[in-house]
Structure 1
Amino acid sequence: MSTQQKELISRRYPWMVLSVTSLGVLLTLLNVGTLNVALPVVSRHFHATAITANWILLSYMLFNTVFILIFGRLADMFGRRRLYIIGLSAFTIVSLLIGFAPNIWVLLVLRVVQAAGGAIVVTNTTPLLTDAFPEKSLPKGLGINVLVASVAQLVGPVVGGFFASVLGWQWVFWFNVPFGVIGVIWAMITLRSMPSTGTREAFDLPGNILIFFALGGAILALSEGSTLGWGNPIVVAGLLAFVILTPIFLHIEWRAKSPLMDLRLFGQRRYAMAYTSAFLNSFARSAVVLLMALYYQTLDHASAFTAGLAVLPVTAGMLLLSPVAGSLASRYDARLLSSLGLALSGLGVLVLIFEVGPASSFAWAAVGMFLVGAGTALFMTPNTSSIMTTIDPAHRGTANGLRSMLQNMGQVVSTALSLMLVTASLPPRLQASIYGGNAVALPQRDVHLIVVGFRTALFAMLIATLIGVLTSLVRGQRKHAQAH
């Protein structure tokens, strides 16, 4: 092979890696969106109770969030290529097996294994791109990756609704299989082994066990608190596990030679503020989508499908701004762009606060949701790039795992908190209408109570976004990437 051919392949390699990771991201995120729509069909098939049906979603969310941090560390130890292929293979095989699940309990166990495979794919995506792309063009690659994630969120409910209603609930999972097989083969052909980026440090077993039970307790409590009640023994036990085990985990991690979570990153302002901002951005955006979907079903009597269409402006904003954000991030300081993105999202939430109500205009609400999505896209690419290009290449999996875990935690916390704020001051009969929608007109007094609840929850999201602007601004100036 000539030198010219080698140079051509070298220039193409980053984009080939992007094609591999894009397919993995597309599959794992489609899996979340499709099941959100198909859940009633799956629940009816297995005669699941309300709580059991909730765990079809919750089991994946819980274990995916916990495993993201763990597998980020393992990728640094054993190599990203190998672990990525294992994760996508596991995700594909389990997608096939779920369609043959004989009962709800087998389904839940398989969903946990699927969550592990999905966590491996997600936590390796950004490090693989960072290893492959030169620093100058990395933001463009990350921007396209965010774009693919947005597409998955956009088409997921449509795909899930089609398969569940036309071909049966099994195809909600089986459609992953052919694409997963293609993805595994393409990854084996394309990805290069890069042993120099891995580490051979000891596996942090105590840290893994503690973080599993601490985060597991927190997610369990926050997810079930609004349903079972905050005084329920299960919820209290989850909160106690988080409160007691978290300080123990932090103490052990600070003293460990090969920690699962490198707490020294938080001693550097640019990392601490970038991570905090990522959590707050995810916290605000996730709740906006949930709140507006519930709002249209509760007060406008929209169907779930119609409500899903109504919140598409958030995804549209992410789709349109992601490529622009990638281009801008290669030329401008991450602190400026990320802070501007959060401010744009905050402006969108402010518009929604004024538009929620009996005399609301969907046009203005759409503008507000679009701004939230656009601001998120403008925030994510430069913020992620600022973390990944300045971290030691051997620890990119750990750094990205921490970032992904904090984003997932933002989604979980915002879901629990926003639902609590919406329903906290409502009588039980109105709480039921929030969760299940309402097919009949409500008295004006009840409408007022519900509107106040939604505005209170949105106001909390606005405060979180404004705090995110401040944490992003104080991160400090951009540092040059370390050689790799």
Structure 2
Amino acid sequence: MTRAAGLRSDERDRIRYAWRLLSVVCLASLMTGINVSSLNIALPAIVDGLDAGPVAASWILLSFQLTHVTLMIFFGRLADVLGRRTMYLTGVAVFSAASLLAGAAPDVGLLIACRVAQATGAAMLIANSAALVTAAFPRRLLGQGLGFYMASFSLAQMLGPTVGGLVTTELGWRWTLLLNVPVGVVCLLWGLRVMERVPRSGEPLRLDPAGNVLVVLGLGGLLVALSQGGTTGWTDPVVIAGVVAFVVALPVFLIVELRVPFPVVDVHLFREPVVGVGVLAGFLGTMSRFAVVLLMGLYFQAVQGDTPSEAGLKVLPLAVASIVSSPGAGTVLRWVRARTMAAAASSVSLAGLVLLLVVIDVDTPYPLLITAVVVIGLGSGAFIPANSTAMLQDVPPDRLGITNAVRLMAQSSGVVVSTAVTLTLISLPLPAALRGHVLDGSIARVEPAALDGLITGFRWAFGLMAVMAALCVLTSLVGRRTTRDVPGPATAVTDVEG
């Protein structure tokens, strides 16, 4: 009886620590998530304030995303060797300091450099967040823990556009970056107090510099081509060079990763169908939904002439829907197979995207638009914890960091490609001279007659996103045949140790 009581006491202590750790992770997720979603709304004001051209305007977002993707696996591996606590808290400090510098940047070039530094800190955080949560929570509570963790991003989506829009309108766009600083300081102090020191693995640090360089060349080349092709033309030498870099780097990257002893991406992970399906579904799911806030924020400002604060409030229901469905999905995962939930959630997002594609126009009533956006948010909020749980619940503890980093790299690649493609598509039907006025939100004032062409571009973008959502549904359905996951009570026997 005493021994059983001791075990129950140890379990209670572990659960208590898991929830305290989750509070640190969620606070940091709020900080980084607000950074992303607030800049999606503030982008026209930033472009106008710094007099940035269309290519530079795109790279205010893309520089962060490319750096984030490139460093994700690196920091996931480094944390497995050096310790997740040290890596995580360092990331908080770097992100906070970079936000302070970005808020004071005098020109777009320095702002982009600060965004790269921000992304470095964010990669340290995000590469380890889900791994920390997964290691801390007992298996029977893992779905709930991941659900609340993902809900913090939904909350950031809710606060980011609204707070970012209001702050941009009332105080100026610089304060959308400076707001990260006090949040980061609180997160750092709380993390120092709460997070336990975990012994290092003792494994020697082995890096893959060739793999990292190939990721930058390949993905960077693709982004340069996508972001610049619509402005300078697809036959521009820089665009052609970007395409060639991507086409050459991709197969070389795969060959290198199969041969080096410590690859940046362990290709052998994909021999496990659960991981392969999860990575592909995560990429497709992110491609299909991430750019909705960005595009709708631009739509309300560029097409309907709203201020940043008005646009932020108008996209708010999407995040509300996500924050409702994300923890709800985490609870349902105790009884429903994770891959089944992922397929259902993707189907909901697909329905919302199809509706948005059908109804969007220059003068579409707001209730119609927001109905579609809410449906997308409901599906998005439920998909992420379902797909993450399906991938991570059976991963050995010593592989959590690298597997989670691969998952996040796929999702982050979806983010960066989706951003580049959709920003190009929405302006592609317009004359080259007018494309710069889309991102600064002034096209309705400069050339009202061009709005019909801009709506065509929005339809192209949402059409592509709907195709990605349909492929995500199919991938998740196929994954039901390969995954070993079962409802929560059947997997509650074995805990995941960190």
TM-score (norm. length: structure 1): 0.89
Distance 2:160 2:110 in 1: 24
Q: Which amino acid aligns with 1:478?
A: R
1:3-402, aligned counterparts within 5 Å? 7-39=11-43, 48-49=52-53, 51-101=55-105, 104-167=108-171, 169-195=173-199, 199-200=203-204, 202-357=206-361, 360-402=364-406
Structure 1 residue 127, shift from structure 2 partner? 0.4
CA gap of 1:60–1:477, structure 2 versus 1, over 3 A, is closer
Distance 2:142 2:446 in 1: 52
User: Residue deviations 1:335-376, cap 9 Å, x none?
Assistant: 110000000111111211221236744323222111111111
CA gap of 1:459–1:398, structure 2 versus 1, over 3 A, is same
**8 Å contact from structure 1 (residues 62, 220) kept in 2:** no
CA gap of 1:56–1:426, structure 2 versus 1, over 3 A, is closer
Tell me what 2:484 maps to.
478
Distance 2:306 2:165 in 1: 16
CA gap of 1:111–1:253, structure 2 versus 1, over 3 A, is same
Q: Which amino acid aligns with 1:477?
A: T
Distance 2:304 2:49 in 1: 30
Distance 1:406 1:356 in 2: 29
Structure 1 residue 20, shift from structure 2 partner? 0.7
1:426-465, aligned counterparts within 5 Å? 426-428=430-432, 431=435, 434-435=438-439, 436=441, 437-439=443-445, 442=448, 449-465=453-469
User: Residue deviations 1:250-279, cap 9 Å, x none?
Assistant: 111112222221111222222111111111
**8 Å contact from structure 1 (residues 66, 216) kept in 2:** no
Distance 1:163 1:294 in 2: 17
**8 Å contact from structure 2 (residues 134, 496) kept in 1:** no
**8 Å contact from structure 1 (residues 391, 482) kept in 2:** no
Structure 1 residue 244, shift from structure 2 partner? 1.0
**8 Å contact from structure 2 (residues 161, 316) kept in 1:** no
Distance 1:103 1:441 in 2: 27
Distance 2:111 2:467 in 1: 39
Q: Structure 1 residues 71-80 or 303-312, which shifts more? A: 303-312
Tell me what 1:403 maps to.
407
Distance 2:363 2:51 in 1: 40
Structure 1 residue 173, shift from structure 2 partner? 3.3
User: Residue deviations 1:142-195, cap 9 Å, x none?
Assistant: 111111111112212333344445555554333322322221222122212333
**8 Å contact from structure 2 (residues 161, 313) kept in 1:** no
Distance 2:41 2:372 in 1: 24
Q: Which amino acid aligns with 2:238?
A: I
Structure 1 residue 100, shift from structure 2 partner? 4.8
User: Residue deviations 1:259-300, cap 9 Å, x none?
Assistant: 221111222222111111111111111233334334444544
**8 Å contact from structure 1 (residues 225, 416) kept in 2:** no
Q: Structure 1 residues 15-24 or 426-435, which shifts more? A: 426-435
CA gap of 1:298–1:243, structure 2 versus 1, over 3 A, is same
Distance 2:451 2:51 in 1: 34
Distance 1:224 1:482 in 2: 49
Structure 1 residue 412, shift from structure 2 partner? 2.3
Q: Structure 1 residues 274-283 or 458-467, which shifts more? A: 458-467
Distance 1:144 1:419 in 2: 31
Structure 1 residue 384, shift from structure 2 partner? 0.4
Q: Structure 1 residues 334-343 or 416-425, which shifts more? A: 416-425
**8 Å contact from structure 1 (residues 223, 415) kept in 2:** no
Structure 1 residue 133, shift from structure 2 partner? 0.6
Give the alignment's Cα RMSD to 1 decimal. 2.9
Distance 1:246 1:324 in 2: 39
Structure 1 residue 428, shift from structure 2 partner? 4.5
**8 Å contact from structure 1 (residues 390, 482) kept in 2:** no
**8 Å contact from structure 1 (residues 59, 108) kept in 2:** yes
Q: How many residues align?
A: 481
Structure 1 residue 44, shift from structure 2 partner? 6.1
Structure 1 residue 247, shift from structure 2 partner? 1.1
Distance 1:130 1:78 in 2: 18
Q: Which amino acid aligns with 2:445?
A: A
CA gap of 1:212–1:8, structure 2 versus 1, over 3 A, is same
**8 Å contact from structure 2 (residues 356, 373) kept in 1:** yes
**8 Å contact from structure 2 (residues 157, 319) kept in 1:** yes
Distance 1:219 1:267 in 2: 29
Tell me what 2:418 maps to.
414
Distance 1:366 1:173 in 2: 27
Structure 1 residue 209, shift from structure 2 partner? 2.2
Distance 1:190 1:210 in 2: 38
**8 Å contact from structure 1 (residues 71, 120) kept in 2:** yes
Distance 1:450 1:183 in 2: 41
Per chain length, whose mean CA-contact separation is higher, i.e. which structure has more relative contact order (CA < 8 Å, sep 6+)? Answer: 2
Distance 2:269 2:365 in 1: 45
**8 Å contact from structure 2 (residues 273, 483) kept in 1:** no
Q: Which amino acid aligns with 1:231?
A: T
Structure 1 residue 470, shift from structure 2 partner? 0.8
Q: Structure 1 residues 344-353 or 229-238, which shifts more? A: 229-238
Tell me what 1:466 maps to.
470
Percent of matched pairs sharing the same residue: 36
> Secondary structure at the residue paired with 2:416?
helix
Structure 1 residue 53, shift from structure 2 partner? 4.5
Distance 2:217 2:184 in 1: 31
Q: Which amino acid aligns with 1:190?
A: V
> Secondary structure at the residue paired with 1:377?
helix
> Secondary structure at the residue paired with 1:412?
helix
